[in-house]
Structure 1
Amino acid sequence: MGHQLGRFVHDGGALLGPNWARYKNTPFMELKEGQVFTLEPSLSVKGFGAIGIEEDVIVTKEGAKYISNLQKELWLVGQ
């Protein structure tokens, strides 16, 4: 999952996600060079908790390039 970034955190436009009715046509919009997205994979386990991460990328001619520092360790918040 992920969404486009711009002037606002959730800038509208294209969405990187599944073909669910609530997303309408946003997962099918063309990605263009220079667009910036945040990638937000997450996992929730009912009764246990959730984990998520965000990494920012820019669309290039070759694909996508990370523009944020990659998180390489997990942080435990509260218990």
Structure 2
Amino acid sequence: MPADSWSAPQCMVDHEYAAVVYTPPSFTNKPDLMQGGAFTVIVNPGTGHVTKLPFTASPAYFDPSCNTTTHTAAFTAFRDMN
């Protein structure tokens, strides 16, 4: 993977939608952005439609988390930690 690749952890909410957090590589060295500066979207992989969400989240390995039973996604952010 090239050093300039974006990070985009994701999970499937159901068979139609994925929750995604994504960041450019420069965020890795900025603690405030690592704690809650990742961009958030819901993607329909079948159609390619992307819906931007009105908040940012942590790009941590556990973000986002999805519940396929309730068809929901949870995003976390750690604010005012520095």
TM-score range for the pair, normalised by the shorter chain length:
0.3 to 0.5
TM-score w.r.t. the length of structure 2 is: 0.36
Q: Which has the higher strand share?
A: 1
Which structure has more relative contact order (CA 8 Å, sep 6+)? It is: 2
TM-score w.r.t. the length of structure 1 is: 0.37
